[in-house]
Amino acid sequence: MPVDKPYLESLEGAAGRTDAIIGWARYLGETFGTTDALNCLRYYEDLGWISPLVREQMISYLRGLSLDEIHNRRYDEPTTLEYPLESLSGTLFATHAQSLEYISEIRGDDIEEHVMAARMAERRVDRRIDDDADDGGSPSEMVRVIRDGARH
């Protein structure tokens, strides 16, 4: 399921998703503060998550935040995510995963679909590795044989 980059081209086509846009701006401001929120937007642009236009549009939203909406918590506090990104809760990527969830919602996309596709691909790879292990040819199988041989 390839996705063209940038993932989110513009906020203008997001009619009806204004709550998500404002929610994302507040999230960035509260989580990172103004300067680091701007750095995050640049990072997301570099990753191809957003276009330069979206970065500029989000800067306008960040400028509209009140002082109460800017940097109420620390970036390094654990972020708890809900399904389908819950496995990233408490990790260093969790705060950015929350942004990706907002970006997906603004785009009108279902991030759950992408997560499920990635999990299915991971299972296929694991299955292939397990099949290779039956032949004794996988790296993990070789490590086990070497380790077990060293014990005897």
Domain ranges of the chain: 1-109, 110-152
pLDDT tens figures, 38-58: 999 999 999 999 999 999 999
pLDDT reading at 137 higher than 60? no
pLDDT range class, residue 1, cuts 50, 70, 90: very low
pLDDT reading at 8 higher than 70? yes
The rounded mean pLDDT for the chain is 77
Q: How many residues does the chain have?
A: 152
pLDDT reading at 135 higher than 80? no
Amino acid 49: pLDDT: 93
**DSSP bridge partners of 45:** none
pLDDT reading at 19 higher than 70? yes
Amino acid 113: pLDDT: 72
pLDDT reading at 68 higher than 60? yes
Q: Which amino acid is at 120?
A: M
